[in-house]
Amino acid sequence: MCGIAGILNLSLDPAAHLDRLEAMSARLVHRGPDSHGAFTLPHLGLAIRRLSIIDLETGDQPLSNETGEVTLVFNGEIYNYRELRKKLLDRGHRFKTRSDGEVIAHLYEERGPDFVRELNGMFAIALWDNRAKRLVLARDRAGEKPLYYWRRGTTLAFASEIKALFEYPDVSRAPDFDALTSYFFYGYFPAPASAFREIRKLPAAHRMVVEGGEFRIEQYWRLLDFWRTAGGPPAASFREEEVVEELRGRIREAARSRLVSDVPLGVFLSGGVDSSTLAALMSELTPQGGAVNSFSVSFREKSFNEEPNAEQVAKHFHTRHHSVDASEAALRESLLTLAGLLDEPLADPAVLPTHLMSGFARREIKVAFSGEGSDELFGGYPTYLGAKLAAYYLRLPGFLRRQFFERLARHLPVSSSAVPGGLFLRRFFAHAERKPAERHLIWFGMFAPAELEVLFSPGWPAPKGASAGIFAPLKRVLEGAHFDDVVAEMLFLDFRLYLEDNLLVKTDRASMACSLELRSPYLDHRLVEFAAGLPSSVRLRGFELKSLMKKAVEKWLPPPIVYRQKRGFSVPIADWMRGEWRPLVDSTLAAEKLKRQGLFDTGTVRGLLNEHWAGRADNRKTLWTLLTFQLWFDRWVERN
């Protein structure tokens, strides 16, 4: 795991070129503190900060082929590198290292830019072909590893994180207020947008080829090509026993392939079905003589605390278990630390315990397994049940919905628990009549479209208006797709948006801030492709979340673990913003400050705060989105 950066500038002075590249690389040292390297030509520079995981002695980057005509730096891991290496050796290639990265250079010799199709892994790659004068940038299929770029004319700068790009003198920090408008809806930035007007991110499963002064961005893998779409074989033709056995084998193989490492590994363990499955497989597949290290977070608030579940799993599989206390003070420190590390606001409070646990785990290990991807593939979110319930709800007469259920929603109790039923039900009733995909995003999201219309002041600089265009990423992702049912559409949408641009951003930034590598076996593209071809009714039977996944892992886990109610990685921010964190929230969102900046309607923001503090409403989502934006804006925009 590493941080990479580079510059391609056909008119750049070579001396200045080296200074800029070194400064860009230095901003990524947290991603790779073990070594650094660079490759430079008069008009090209590639730089790397390395976190050594595989081939500790000879695997330093940049890496080249035998002739030196192909040179690359990359961030990530190639899990099938041993198989690829053997085939390449059989075909006459010669290797200088035992690293996974050198395989990429030799694959490129044979396949050109299509080399990326052969890789099973998580990666962001920058490769220079000196003979063809061609630069290739590529990101993995799910988007586990980030890659941002800035372009002006024939000049291109790119890096693993935005902060490195700011070391290039021409890069502006001007915010992209259209993208920021979307942020207040989604809570993240759907690709290819970033928080900054001039900076874009290469989308997952895409490559950029720069050759002869031309820039091409191409998609090399499409989830839609494997997804079960309308008109496929009937669900009844999928025999459950065969599907379960196939799924079990693919999960096991995905975990086995990700055990390749020359440093200690562990697992982030919540006690839920996803992480418990990984703990079970690691315990089985790890060589005899060493217990698996497992790590969890403990909250003092009972409804948020999954530590007893994690301890139960740890005892069952005899892991070497470690738990860290996620107190208000500890997570407040993480919040302020991440405000300086996150180049974009991120409205997912789970980034805080992920960062806390990453720093805690880094004392023992360099690599940890994490369960991202399973919920999106196998139906783990209550909103999927909401989509099914909405079909029944909408069959009721309109007057009954308005006179009874919508009135009922106004009287639901305010809760600060990990699963705030009142908040979910209010959103359900308020938006059930919308188009299914839009409704799903509103249920999942931060501010609803109508709330956006009163949030911003007249001085908000987005030219499109408060809520215009917020569904554009949805339309882009669903273009040309037709699904068997609403749940299949929601699963696809969450994989392409919520997973790619929220969850994987969260896990990458939080872990790499602590120089820890996280691996997600459920994102093995072979497993993803298999799951994508299954009807949603096979993956999620009736009203039981992840029914297929649970059936597959029953063989490895005790029933109480398999069928435990899902809680999610929640943080008690609702109560904390009323208590110990209230002074921070109040000062960060102070009316005088907001008036001076002229971005938000101060009356709307103060109303949200007063409602929440008085306990009349649960505004945790909207207030957290505002708080994380303002901490980012203070640090990355206003201060500069």
Q: Is residue 396 predicted with pLDDT exceeding 90?
A: no
Q: Are residues 579 and 553 in the same domain?
A: no
The predicted pLDDT at position 193 comes to: 97
Q: Are residues 203 and 62 in the same domain?
A: yes
Q: Are residues 237 and 209 in the same domain?
A: no
Q: Are residues 579 and 503 in the same domain?
A: no
The predicted pLDDT at position 16 comes to: 65
Q: Is residue 235 predicted with pLDDT exceeding 80?
A: no
The predicted pLDDT at position 288 comes to: 58
The predicted pLDDT at position 3 comes to: 94
DSSP letter, residue 397: -
| Residue at 450 is within a domain | no
Q: Are residues 105 and 207 in the same domain?
A: yes
| Residue at 385 is within a domain | no
Domain final residue pick, 206, 221, 236 = 221
Residue showing tokens 């090509």: 225
Give the rounded distance of the alpha carbon of 445 from its chain centre.
15
Residue showing tokens 């080399």: 115
- Domain residues for the domain of 629 are 572-640
Q: Where are the alpha helices (DSSP H) in 513-637?
A: 525-532, 536-539, 547-553, 559-562, 573-576, 582-588, 591-597, 602-614, 620-632
pLDDT tier at 286, thresholds 50, 70, 90: confident
Q: Is residue 10 predicted with pLDDT exceeding 80?
A: no
Q: How far is CA 270 from CA 175, 307, 357, 421, 518, in A?
A: 37, 7, 11, 22, 15
Whichever domain contains 251, its CATH number is 3.40.50.620
Residue showing tokens 């999928």: 238
Give the rounded distance of the alpha carbon of 54 from its chain centre.
24
Quick: pLDDT tens for 250-280: 999 999 999 988 788 999 999 999 999 999 9
Q: Are residues 310 and 248 in the same domain?
A: yes
Quick: pLDDT tens for 293-340: 999 999 888 878 888 899 999 999 999 999 999 999 999 999 999 998
Whichever domain contains 140, its CATH number is 3.60.20.10
Domain final residue pick, 517, 538, 562 = 562
pLDDT tier at 18, thresholds 50, 70, 90: confident
Q: Is residue 285 predicted with pLDDT exceeding 80?
A: yes
Least confidently predicted of 15-24, 434-443, 450-459, 494-503: 15-24
Q: Are residues 549 and 584 in the same domain?
A: no
The amino acid occupying position 102 is: E
Q: Is residue 14 predicted with pLDDT exceeding 90?
A: no
Rounded CA separation 423/305 (Å): 20
Domain final residue pick, 562, 596, 619 = 562
The predicted pLDDT at position 274 comes to: 96
Q: Are residues 548 and 607 in the same domain?
A: no
Q: Six-digit token pair at 523?
A: 């994102």
pLDDT tier at 58, thresholds 50, 70, 90: low
Q: One of 2, 142, 361, 626 is an active-site residue; which one?
A: 2
Q: Are the C-beta atoms of 46 and 4 separated by less than 8 Å?
A: yes
| Residue at 639 is within a domain | yes
| Residue at 459 is within a domain | no
Least confidently predicted of 165-174, 305-314, 410-419, 586-595: 410-419
| Residue at 411 is within a domain | no
Q: Are the C-beta atoms of 119 and 80 separated by less than 8 Å?
A: yes
The predicted pLDDT at position 116 comes to: 98
Question: What is the average pLDDT score of the chain?
Answer: 91
Q: Are residues 374 and 241 in the same domain?
A: yes
Q: How many domains does the chain have?
A: 3
Q: Looking at residues 448-464, what average pLDDT do you find?
A: 86
Q: Are residues 217 and 237 in the same domain?
A: no
Q: Is residue 419 predicted with pLDDT exceeding 60?
A: no
Q: Six-digit token pair at 172?
A: 């502006």
| Residue at 499 is within a domain | yes
2 in catalytic set? yes
The predicted pLDDT at position 234 comes to: 77
* Bridge partners (DSSP) listed for residue 71: 64, 128
Rounded CA separation 139/108 (Å): 15
Q: Is residue 559 predicted with pLDDT exceeding 60?
A: yes
Least confidently predicted of 322-336, 450-464, 569-583: 450-464
Quick: pLDDT tens for 23-49: 999 999 999 998 889 999 988 999 999
Which pTM value belongs to this model?
0.94
| Residue at 397 is within a domain | no
Residue showing tokens 């801030």: 513
Q: Where are the alpha helices (DSSP H) in 405-448?
A: 406-410, 421-431, 436-444
The predicted pLDDT at position 533 comes to: 94
Q: How many CB atoms lie within 10 A of CB 209?
A: 17
DSSP letter, residue 599: -
Q: Looking at residues 529-545, what average pLDDT do you find?
A: 93
* Bridge partners (DSSP) listed for residue 46: 6, 39
| Residue at 579 is within a domain | yes
- Best-predicted range by mean pLDDT among 6-20, 101-115, 402-416? 101-115
The predicted pLDDT at position 564 comes to: 78
For 345, the 3-state DSSP assignment is: coil
Q: Are residues 580 and 497 in the same domain?
A: no
Q: Is residue 104 predicted with pLDDT exceeding 90?
A: yes
Q: How many CB atoms lie within 10 A of CB 345?
A: 24
The predicted pLDDT at position 15 comes to: 63
The predicted pLDDT at position 310 comes to: 92
The predicted pLDDT at position 638 comes to: 82
Q: How many CB atoms lie within 10 A of CB 220?
A: 15
Q: Are residues 133 and 278 in the same domain?
A: no
